[in-house]
């Protein structure tokens, strides 16, 4: 498990990471979100003992990054940003090299290499030179490398970067499958990824933590939380909007552009972001209006993300 306490890093006068604290337990996947340059990678580099923090500390499975960097690294499987690997090596050879560094040899080494090749579906390219691989295979080779010692902690810097949608899906399922036994920290700027794989997310901007919680908690901060988007057949849009606006459980009504003839689409915002789906539904049935679409918004992570990361910077 990962415990980070007031971790900071400054490069000359630039504060890259500012008093970041968080914890990740076994079985959790923490998604690290933030605009480029927010300090995600820098934090990961400190956790893997690649760079020392300017102040603060962290411990990984009980080992301090300041006092026991070698034990810390032994616990971690790390996928650095942009998945660096030795171009002139063959995939299988590279994985054996990493396995040897991690202290395996003989049959055990062979077994571990086969296991990670299987897990990351690299079988077809294991005798190919890394230089000749596509971005997706490179990324997976790098991921395989991080898994070879079956580490209790995984730190993955943009693990799905450069993958096509199918490969993204595979990598996400792989992360989900592994998460039960492990502590996983991933960074990403793909928001759907957070919803699909992370149990918790942290938004960081200009080195500071600006949002922290489960994806649902974060989404509850959205303006769109529990808003209802409904399309109905109606003749008089102005009157309709007015009627809805007068309902006491509705805070405001917004008309959404609509291409279909005779269909009016509105977004209804609730008072205090409470759930209004049932009341809206009852009202529409009572009016006997035919419904074309009915959609309840859980909140939008991209909007929360934008809100938190742009207001903070000013």
Q: Which is nearer to other proteins, 88 or 248 (CB)?
A: 88
Give min distance, CB of 160 to other proteins, in A: 18
- Least distance from other proteins to the Cβ atom of residue 171, Å: 19
Give the span between the Cα atoms of 136 and 160, in whole angstroms: 8
Whole-angstrom distance, CA of residue 151 vs CA of residue 61:
11
Nearer to other proteins, 87 or 181 (CB): 87
Give me the sheet containing 250-256, strands edge to edge: 250-256, 263-270, 228-233, 291-296
Please answer whether residues 235 and 46 qualify as being in contact, where contact means their C-beta atoms are separated by less than 8 angstroms. Answer: no
Report which of 79, 76, 83 is spatially closest to residue 24, judged by C-alpha positions. Answer: 76
How far is residue 134's CA from residue 283's CA, in Å, rounded to a whole number?
Answer: 55
Q: Cα(184)–Cα(50) distance, rounded to whole angstroms?
A: 18
Residue 61 phi, psi dihedral angles, 5° rounding: 50, 35
Closest to other proteins by CB, 14 vs 235, is 14
CB of residue 82 to other proteins, shortest distance in Å: 6
Query: For residue 243, how far is the Cα from the chain centroid?
Result: 41
Q: Given the complex with other proteins, which of 145 and 183 has the nearer CB atom?
A: 145
Nearer to other proteins, 93 or 292 (CB): 93
Please identify, using beta-carbon distances, which residue of 100 and 192 lies nearer to other proteins: 100
Smallest distance from other proteins to CB 212, Å: 26
| Contact by Cβ (8 Å): 262, 293 | no
| Cβ–Cβ under 8 Å, residues 65 and 58 | yes
Question: Taking the complex as a whole, how short is the minimal distance between the CB of residue 52 and other proteins, in angstroms?
Answer: 6
CA distances from 2 to 41, 49, 156, 204, 205 (A): 16, 13, 14, 17, 21
| DSSP code string of 38-75 | SSHHHHHHHHTTSS--SEEEEEETTEETTT-HHHHHHH
Per CB under 8 A, residues contacting other proteins are 11-12, 45, 48-52, 70-71, 73-74, 76, 78, 80-82, 84-89, 97-98, 100-103, 145
Task: State which residue, 17 or 194, has the beta carbon closest to other proteins.
Answer: 17
Shortest reach from residue 99's CB to other proteins, in Å: 9
Q: Min. distance of Cβ 107 from other proteins in angstroms? A: 17
Q: Where do we find the tokens 């993204």? A: 168
């Amino acid at each position: 498990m990962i415990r980070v306490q007031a971790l900071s890093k400054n490069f000359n006068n630039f504060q890259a990471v500012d008093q970041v604290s968080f914890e990740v337990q076994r079985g959790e996947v923490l998604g690290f979100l933030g605009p480029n340059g927010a300090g995600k990678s820098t934090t990961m580099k400190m956790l893997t003992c690649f760079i020392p923090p300017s102040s603060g500390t962290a411990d990984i499975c009980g080992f301090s990054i300041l006092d026991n960097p070698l034990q810390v690294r032994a616990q971690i499987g790390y996928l650095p940003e942009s998945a660096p690997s030795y171009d002139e090596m063959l995939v299988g050879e590279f994985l054996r090299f990493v396995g040897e560094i991690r202290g395996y040899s003989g049959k055990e080494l062979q077994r571990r290499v086969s296991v990670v090749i299987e897990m990351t579906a690299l079988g077809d390219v294991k005798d190919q030179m890394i230089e000749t691989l596509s971005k997706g295979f490179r990324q997976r080779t790098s991921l395989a490398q991080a898994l070879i010692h079956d580490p209790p902690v995984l730190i993955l810097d943009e693990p799905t970067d450069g993958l096509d949608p199918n490969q993204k899906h595979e990598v996400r399922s792989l992360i989900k499958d592994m998460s039960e036994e492990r502590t996983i920290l991933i960074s990403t700027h793909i928001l759907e990824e957070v919803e699909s794989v992370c149990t918790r997310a942290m938004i960081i901007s200009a080195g500071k933590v600006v949002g922290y919680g489960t994806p649902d908690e974060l989404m509850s901060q959205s303006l769109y939380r529990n808003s209802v988007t409904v399309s109905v057949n109606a003749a008089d849009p102005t009157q309709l909007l007015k009627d809805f606006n007068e309902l006491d459980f509705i805070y405001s009504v917004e008309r959404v552009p609509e291409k279909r003839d005779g269909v009016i689409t509105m977004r209804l915002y609730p008072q205090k972001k409470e759930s209004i789906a049932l009341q809206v539904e009852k009202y529409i049935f009572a009016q006997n209006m035919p419904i074309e679409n009915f959609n309840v918004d859980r909140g939008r992570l991209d909007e929360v993300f934008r809100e938190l990361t742009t207001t903070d910077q000013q």
